[in-house]
Structure 1
Amino acid sequence: MPKGKGAKGTKVTLKIAKKAIRMTPDGRRRLTLSNMGITIFPKCLLKLTNVDELDLSRNLIQKLPDNIGNFSSLRWLDLHSNKLESVPETISNLVGLTHLNVSNNRLTSAGLPSTMGLLTSLKSLNLGMNQLDTLPTTMAALGNLQELGLFDNLFINLPEFLSGLRNLTKVNMKRNPLSYAQGDAEGMLKKKSEPEGDVYLVHESSLCRTCLKRCKEQGENFTRGGGGGRGGGEGGERRGGGDMFEEKRIRTYAGLIAPNSVATVNQDAWRIRKVEHKTIK
């Protein structure tokens, strides 16, 4: 049991918070207060406005303060596995936020403010394992969004504006009561930006000799009308540099099957409700 934990949860002081700050390998200041039994958002944290990353996951927090926007330097916010029922409108003040994880909470669609659409720097948004059936239409303005987790919610229809998000390439809609087949949902996303055939953009210097040869062969086949072939392109992504590829198709993202896909402990222990899913290797 964490020090200071009682009926009202763990008390976090400014001194404790400062000691918990660590520098990340890329030089950012990360404050980690995960799995400490915190029930109320520690007001003292608002004094640490120079923190770049904040992890309050796996606690018992029910509400965020209205002045959460005071974290002007925040780029990464992890609140998964709490008891949040809503997100304050002032979250829009976190204009530099690139990663937001509020999965495995108690969020309803009414609890997501229209100001979510002002978080235009967001690249990754995880809303999985909540009680959502719609999203604010203002989120159509999230032009930089690349990854979106909506798994284990109550969506009957896929949010229409998703097809207009030009950079959105990874979506997880698994385990929603969709009114059409999961494959159809993926097809709707895929249709909006996929060219006639799989296209990969990569500099030759990023490829190993084998992959470079394979890409050239597929390019020749494509020119002759035989298509690019899917296997080789994906093989190149696995072995030839990965991040250098620009994948021009929408697909579901296996990495968003749990509240925090990079955590080292068992995700199932954090889930509010037990969900069956295939293990993805």
Structure 2
Amino acid sequence: MAKGKGPKGKKITLKTAKNSIRISFDGGRRLDLSKMGITTFPKCILKLADVDELDLSRNMLKKIPNSIEKFQKLRWLDLHSNQLEDLPKTVGTLQNLFYLNICNNKLTSKNLPEELNLLKNLRFLNLGLNCLDSIPPTLGALKELKELGLFDNLLTVIPNSVKRLPKLQKLNADRNPLPELVKKEEYVDPIKRIESLYLVQEKDLCCSCLKACQEERGKLKKFKNTVPCPSKKLSFPLLLTPNSTAVDNQEQWRLKDEHL
């Protein structure tokens, strides 16, 4: 039987684990062993490796064994709020995984396996509240990733390969010693740029400034050549809008009122 213990010294047995299986909202089988005071990964649950979701959050686990690779059907793995200092490389074999939460642990960059980049179907990854001072640029291989949590770490830079993930919708990097983030360059209508231009003679400009002005002028010319001419206003003489007659007679009505 497993060595893990729950509250009041209760052991996590195979029977206890089986009784902890729930049906998730989409019909999958979820093994929920959260908040049970487990200090050692219960080996007995390897006999339940056909579950779709595994929740070991809010325990006191310090290590996840390599045998986690036996959970090949796993789509959801929640390990947040433990005392994990590293992850096994075999986590990269869980190819069906789309949710991985390892927030609020003691993970360091040195012990964060690069094999995470093998999780090609991963949509959600939470690495917040750890001790990470860097993240591997190889996470840029997670092309399906939609949400990434990096908050409350020691990060000073986020690799461009990660920031530019094609499907990334949410990146939370709050409370890191990052330099001020440069906002994405907003599109500015070239016509509006005219307001910030000043007329000077070419002789008063250095070579670099002259080149920049020439480039701006080229962009404006190109823009003007691509702007379509305004089309003539369409006229419908036989079609009156509800208020058209009122507008035409408005002055006559006003005069009549003044004489009353």
TM over 0.5: yes
Conservation of the 8 A alpha-carbon contact between 1:5 and 1:11 = no
Q: C-alpha separation between the residues in 1 aligned to 2:105 and 2:87?
A: 11
- SS of the equivalent of 2:85 reads coil
| Count of equivalent residues | 187
Can you give the 5+ residue segments of structure 2 that lack an aligned partner in the other structure?
190-226, 229-260
- In structure 1, give the amino acid aligned to 2:176: N
> In structure 2, do the counterparts of structure 1 residues 103 and 195 end up closer, same or farther at CA, with 3 Å as the change threshold?
farther
- SS of the equivalent of 1:92 reads helix
Query: CA offset at residue 11 of structure 1?
Result: 2.1
> In structure 2, do the counterparts of structure 1 residues 196 and 99 end up closer, same or farther at CA, with 3 Å as the change threshold?
farther
Query: CA offset at residue 126 of structure 1?
Result: 0.3
1:22 aligns with 2:19: no
**Aligned match of 1:210:** none
Query: CA offset at residue 195 of structure 1?
Result: 7.7
| Structure ranking higher on relative contact order (CA contacts 8 Å, 6+ apart) | 1
Query: CA offset at residue 24 of structure 1?
Result: 1.5
What are the equivalent positions in structure 2 for 1:176-215 lying under 5 Å apart?
A: 176-178=176-178, 180-181=179-180, 183-184=181-182, 187=183, 190=184
- SS of the equivalent of 1:105 reads coil
Q: Deviations over 1:13-63 (max 9, x none)?
A: 111000110111210001111111000011111111211011111000000
Q: C-alpha separation between the residues in 2 aligned to 1:109 and 1:161?
A: 17
**Aligned match of 2:47:** 47
Conservation of the 8 A alpha-carbon contact between 2:40 and 2:63 = yes
> In structure 2, do the counterparts of structure 1 residues 120 and 195 end up closer, same or farther at CA, with 3 Å as the change threshold?
farther
Conservation of the 8 A alpha-carbon contact between 1:116 and 1:136 = no
**Aligned match of 1:13:** 13
Q: C-alpha separation between the residues in 1 aligned to 2:121 and 2:136?
A: 17
Q: Deviations over 1:224-259 (max 9, x none)?
A: 9xxxxxxxxxxxxxxxxxxxxxxxxxxxxxxxxxxx
Q: C-alpha separation between the residues in 1 aligned to 2:188 and 2:11?
A: 57
- Which protein is bigger by CA-based radius of gyration? 2
**Aligned match of 1:84:** 84
- SS of the equivalent of 1:54 reads strand
Conservation of the 8 A alpha-carbon contact between 2:6 and 2:37 = no
Query: CA offset at residue 196 of structure 1?
Result: 7.7
Q: Deviations over 1:132-173 (max 9, x none)?
A: 011122211100000000000000112221133101110100
Q: Deviations over 1:167-193 (max 9, x none)?
A: 111010000011x21x42xx2xx56xx
**Aligned match of 1:102:** 102
1:134 aligns with 2:144: no
Q: C-alpha separation between the residues in 2 aligned to 1:37 and 1:146?
A: 32
Normalising to structure 1: TM-score of the pair?
Answer: 0.63
Normalising to structure 2: TM-score of the pair?
Answer: 0.67
Q: C-alpha separation between the residues in 2 aligned to 1:4 and 1:161?
A: 43
- SS of the equivalent of 2:49 reads coil
Query: CA offset at residue 93 of structure 1?
Result: 1.1
- SS of the equivalent of 2:138 reads helix
Conservation of the 8 A alpha-carbon contact between 1:145 and 1:168 = yes
Q: C-alpha separation between the residues in 2 aligned to 1:78 and 1:4?
A: 20
> In structure 2, do the counterparts of structure 1 residues 44 and 196 end up closer, same or farther at CA, with 3 Å as the change threshold?
farther
4+ aligned runs moved over 3 Å, structure 1: 2-6, 194-197
- SS of the equivalent of 1:67 reads helix
> In structure 2, do the counterparts of structure 1 residues 35 and 159 end up closer, same or farther at CA, with 3 Å as the change threshold?
same
- In structure 2, give the amino acid aligned to 1:90: T
- SS of the equivalent of 2:46 reads helix
Q: Deviations over 1:257-281 (max 9, x none)?
A: xxxxxxxxxxxxxxxxxxxxxxxxx
Query: CA offset at residue 3 of structure 1?
Result: 5.9
> In structure 2, do the counterparts of structure 1 residues 195 and 17 end up closer, same or farther at CA, with 3 Å as the change threshold?
farther
Q: Deviations over 1:107-141 (max 9, x none)?
A: 00011111111011100000000000111222111
- In structure 1, give the amino acid aligned to 2:19: K
**Aligned match of 1:244:** none
**Aligned match of 2:66:** 66
**Aligned match of 1:151:** 151
